[in-house]
Amino acid sequence: GAVVSQHPSWVICKSGTSVKIECRSLDFQATTMFWYRQFPKQSLMLMATSNEGSKATYEQGVEKDKFLINHASLTLSTLTVTSAHPEDSSFYICSARKLAGGADTQYFGPGTRLTVL
Amino acid sequence: GEDVEQSLFLSVREGDSSVINCTYTDSSSTYLYWYKQEPGAGLQLLTYIFSNMDMKQDQRLTVLLNKKDKHLSLRIADTQTGDSAIYFCAGNRDDKIIFGKGTRLHILP
């Protein structure tokens, strides 16, 4: 199997606070994880690529100081939204890359809905 | 145009076959994927096809790939109410996956 979990599944916070979201690959090791955000009725927007033991690679237009990514182990990546504002409210989804049997696939977590008041 | 394009909406009667189409521009994709997203949930990998294959079948799902035309399709046989979801076509580029905007499949009784 290839199970990816996210915690929390939803969070409501006040403007100006920071929120940490965890992404874990439960039954496989992932040297590469990805963070996406999804607005209502839209596709996924890749925010950054998280590499175990090294710095994340951010997509153009994504503020690295605002969205802190840490990939400290082969099964855990965290995304911290710092000084969150209402425009950061979104559905954040992580995925973990798995290479097996010659196939290169990504398995997704269930998502975290962030609401900033 | 977009890297991966797909129609936004498809309506099908329960029991009929659903065919969701997708076109892509990057011929260097080695894998093409179909993901399913139910409301409020993450993405579930349904199936994928290697770029040197023409067809892949997995139970009710059939994927057809026309590499010359850069066209990918997903056929769902005997469509059920539980198939109601958004279906994303995607291809890989470098280490990333590039998604289409998704096709919302609506099942009519």
Instruction: Closest CB to A104: pick one of B35, B92, B100.
Output: B92
CA-nearest of A22, A25, A46, A43 to A107 is: A25
Residue B43 predicted with pLDDT over 80: yes
- The residue-averaged pLDDT of B11-33 equals 93
- Both structure tokens of A96: 């973990």
Cβ–Cβ contact B96 with A under 8 A: yes
Residue B44 predicted with pLDDT over 70: yes
Give exposure, B91-101, as e/b (b: 16+ Cβ within 10 Å).
bbeeebbbbbb
Q: What is the pLDDT of residues A97-116, one digit of tens each?
A: 988 776 778 899 999 999 99
- The residue-averaged pLDDT of A21-42 equals 91
Q: What is the pLDDT of residues B52-65, one digit of tens each?
A: 999 999 999 999 99
Residue B99: list chain A partners with CB under 8 A.
43-44
Beta bridge partners of B85: B105
CA A4 to chain centre: 11
Residue A8: list chain B partners with CB under 8 A.
none
Measured between alpha carbons, how far is B96 from B87 in angstroms, rounded to an integer? 18
Residue B43: list chain A partners with CB under 8 A.
44, 93, 95, 108
Q: What is the pLDDT of residues B26-40, one digit of tens each?
A: 888 889 999 999 988
Q: What is the pLDDT of residues A46-77, one digit of tens each?
A: 999 998 888 899 999 999 999 999 998 999 99
What are the CA-CA distances from residue A81 to residues A16, A20, A88 (Å)?
A: 10, 6, 8
Maximum alpha-carbon separation in chain B: 42
Q: Can you give the pLDDT at residue B2? A: 64
Q: Can you give the pLDDT at residue A1? A: 66
Q: Can you give the pLDDT at residue A4? A: 94
Instruction: Closest CB to B102: pick one of A43, A95, A105.
Output: A43
Q: Can you give the pLDDT at residue A90? A: 95
Q: Can you give the pLDDT at residue A11? A: 97
Residue of A nearest to B36 (CA): A108
Q: Can you give the pLDDT at residue B85? A: 96
Q: Please report the sign of the dihedral spanned by the C-alpha atoms of residue B43, residue B83, residue A115, residue A2.
A: negative
- Both structure tokens of A5: 């979990």
- Contact call for A103 and B31, based on CB within 8 A: yes
Q: Percentage of residues in chain B with pLDDT exceeding 90? A: 75
Distance from CA of A21 to the nearest CA of B (A): 14
Average pLDDT, chain B: 92
